[in-house]
Structure 1
Amino acid sequence: MAQDIVFRGIAAPLRLDGAEAVRLLLPVVAAGWPHEFREADPAAVPFFSIRSDAGESLLLCQSHVEATPARRHDPVNALCDMIAALALALPAEDPSLICLHAAGVAMAGRLVVFPSVRRAGKSTLSVALARAGHALYGDDVLPLCFAADNRAFGYSMGIAPRLRLPLPASIERGFRDWVDALDGPRNRQYKYLTLKGQPAQGAALPVGAFVILDRHEVPVPARLCPVTPDVAMDALLHQNFTRDRHSADILQAMAASLSNLPVFRLSFSALSDAVACLETAFSRWPDIGAPDAPAPALPFRKAGIGQGVRRARAPDALLGQRQGTVERTIGGSLYLADVEGWAIHRMDPIAAAIWGVLDVPVTRPELETLLVDTFPEVGHDRIAADLGRLLDHFAHAGLIEAKAGG
């Protein structure tokens, strides 16, 4: 018999058809997110479905919140895919939320956020911090909202942390033994860890800092160095998977928050050294005179997908910045968001300079002449080709438009 599992705050259910192994594991993996089992409602469209079929050892898994093909998984990997879909279903219920591919750990009453960097060990480090007594709000997915006072708040998912197996050979024996001794569902790829005393789903804390991880295979001392906020902005842009939010709203909210938050890079090799370094750095926070409770969160508009006109090439006309384009400078780097909210674009110094020139309508030949005069050592043909590609990119992204008088 099919069952619906309804998570608090999510209208769409998880649909289980058979899949008894998943039903038994779910209260362990999602212990911090209240949910209830119900008889399947044929009228309800699930956010994810898992089905067992006669003669098949693997479960058929289908996400209904993103256009991906159905896959067959064992129970643990089925839960992995379900949780990924849950992270998309959550912001669909709350327009003020985005979900980041990031870890968040509470340290001295603030969240330290580790945006995902491939193979940098954010899950392992966040679990090591949890082992040291710091509440883990998320090891892989972190919901965020932004308040009108420019603060960012992170929310707990209430999901057990997951580590990739096998653990790297460089991991200290004490941590490895501790992980092995913990209960939790596992397969050859992953193990979920049942940690006691972790925050329930929906618990919120203000973000105190962003930390970009730089893990080394060779021994190096753990070191936390300040970096410019555009480093965090670049990481956050790539790790925001709530893609239906209006890019201009995202850009303005992130720029405002990053203007008030420190950003660091943590270089490390040994987990214990990294934990000690972070505990020293974040043992206390400056008194910012703001309450810890979230202020009213700013809602995000939905992106106007399909609206507006995307051009394959820039028009042969008088060109200028498109009215309504949002621009923000973060850490010395210029970011642009189009009117429809499709995307955020980071400008390199040359592109930023050309964008500034386009504040006043100009023709392509006039731009070419300006660049040839500025870079006489570069051939005219190369400048014309590079400029053409940049203007075509601007046009396709909806950032420039033809102006009257061309």
Structure 2
Amino acid sequence: MRAPLRPSGPETWAVPELSAHLVLRGAGALIAPLRAVLRDWSVVPVQGTPPGPGIAIRHREGAYERCSPWTEAPRRFRDPVDAVCDLVVDLVHAYVAARPERLCLHAAAVETASGILLIPSTYRSGKSTLATALAARGARLFSDDVAPLGPAGEVEALGMLPRLRLPLPAGLGAAAQALTAAHPGPTSARYRYLALDAAGLAPRGTRRPVAAIVTLERAEGAAPALMEGDADHALQHLLLRNFARGPLPSRIFLRLRRLAAAVPCYRLRYGEAAEGAALLAERFAPLAPREVLDRAG
């Protein structure tokens, strides 16, 4: 791995809550979109060398080049929003590394009246579009991609804006299309962030218990169906999606097994996000927790 550049002077920025700092060489254009995406976090200029891992980004030859403890080779992006999208991955790794008691899943998480629907799934599986379609139906987002789990299995909101790939799929549904249009965040040719307020996106640090685990079986043209699952199937998905390595493997297994055994598990088969969201909304109505419904009304 390449060592990040050493920070110095006003080029150094800290994200204290994420236990990381940035060294920007001619890359100050990243600060505005980064602050927008990290809605509930501080991005502040600092002097000297802050604690925590350093992430170095420099702008050269028309691109933003990043080195960090988590990159095997430099990562390059021409668009500042694309560069921020990729940078957030490193910041999440820094967050997890500084909190060894946390597990962290590649998962969407939406809040219902009874708790969190936890949707573990792999990269580019459609969980962000499904989460957005659920948000359009009144659910409050905790995560569209990364869901930290506390010691008791509760989900913690990171307060980072959700992100969708462009172009938006037609199957997202009219309500979700309208939601994305009404809450534009930083956008590139590849991605669009949604600048949701606290009623649509849980503030950082909000914690809720898991009400159910939903695994995805997405296939074009599939007849939508929400089926009862089993704890072993859900556990397999949780184990595959966990990327925190702080606890011993045996403790990771035991914690996730307890979670899978403690809540109902479902398998969602669907083709389009709007169809899948409709099934989940019917099963878990009302989607929105009471305090969100009160504010919306």
TM range (shorter): 0.7 to 0.9
Separation in 2 of the partners of 1:119 and 1:77? 16
2:135 matches 1:127: no
The structure-2 alpha-carbon separation of the partners of 1:132 and 1:14, relative to structure 1 and needing over 3 Å to count, comes to farther
For residues 164-183 of structure 1, what are the structure 2 equivalents within 5 Å?
Answer: 164-183=165-184
Separation in 2 of the partners of 1:233 and 1:88? 23
* Segments of 4+ moved more than 4 angstroms: none
For residues 277-292 of structure 1, what are the structure 2 equivalents within 5 Å?
Answer: 277-283=279-285
Q: Equivalent residue for 1:14?
A: 22
Give the AA of the match of 1:3.
T
Separation in 1 of the partners of 2:162 and 2:59? 26
Please give the secondary structure, in 2, of the residue aligned with 1:237.
helix
Separation in 2 of the partners of 1:159 and 1:180? 18
Separation in 2 of the partners of 1:177 and 1:199? 20
For normalisation by structure 1, the TM-score amounts to 0.63
RMSD: 2.2
Give the AA of the match of 1:234.
Q
The structure-2 alpha-carbon separation of the partners of 1:146 and 1:282, relative to structure 1 and needing over 3 Å to count, comes to farther
Give the AA of the match of 2:219.
H
Please give the secondary structure, in 1, of the residue aligned with 2:20.
coil
Q: Equivalent residue for 1:390?
A: none
Give the AA of the match of 2:238.
L
- The answer to which structure, 1 or 2, has the higher relative contact order (CA under 8 A, 6+ apart) is 2
The structure-2 alpha-carbon separation of the partners of 1:21 and 1:264, relative to structure 1 and needing over 3 Å to count, comes to same
One of 33, 36, 42 as aligned partner of 1:35: 42
Q: Equivalent residue for 2:13?
A: 4
Q: Equivalent residue for 1:360?
A: none
2:55 matches 1:52: no
Task: List per-residue Cα deviations over 1:110-142 (Å, max 9, x = no partner).
Answer: 110111145431100101112222111110101
- Which has a greater percent of helix? 2
For residues 279-358 of structure 1, what are the structure 2 equivalents within 5 Å?
Answer: 279-283=281-285
1:145 and 1:154 in contact (8 A); partners too: yes
2:14 and 2:50 in contact (8 A); partners too: no
2:72 matches 1:71: no
Separation in 2 of the partners of 1:159 and 1:87? 10
Separation in 2 of the partners of 1:226 and 1:63? 42
For residues 167-246 of structure 1, what are the structure 2 equivalents within 5 Å?
Answer: 167-197=168-198, 198-218=201-221, 220=223, 222-246=224-248
One of 89, 98, 110 as aligned partner of 1:84: 89
The structure-2 alpha-carbon separation of the partners of 1:26 and 1:43, relative to structure 1 and needing over 3 Å to count, comes to closer
Give the AA of the match of 1:68.
E
Determine what percentage of the aligned residue pairs are the same residue: 33
Unmatched runs of 5 consecutive residues or more in structure 2: 1-9, 288-297
Larger mean CA deviation between 193-202 and 117-126 belongs to 117-126
The structure-2 alpha-carbon separation of the partners of 1:84 and 1:137, relative to structure 1 and needing over 3 Å to count, comes to same
Unmatched runs of 5 consecutive residues or more in structure 1: 286-406
2:154 matches 1:153: yes
Separation in 1 of the partners of 2:54 and 2:159? 18
1:87 and 1:99 in contact (8 A); partners too: no
Separation in 2 of the partners of 1:211 and 1:51? 41
2:18 matches 1:23: no
The structure-2 alpha-carbon separation of the partners of 1:202 and 1:245, relative to structure 1 and needing over 3 Å to count, comes to same
User: How many aligned positions are there?
Assistant: 275
Which protein shows a greater Rg? 1
1:107 and 1:279 in contact (8 A); partners too: no
Larger mean CA deviation between 249-258 and 163-172 belongs to 163-172
The structure-2 alpha-carbon separation of the partners of 1:223 and 1:16, relative to structure 1 and needing over 3 Å to count, comes to same
Task: List per-residue Cα deviations over 1:14-47 (Å, max 9, x = no partner).
Answer: 3333312211112211112x21412242364544
Please give the secondary structure, in 1, of the residue aligned with 2:275.
helix
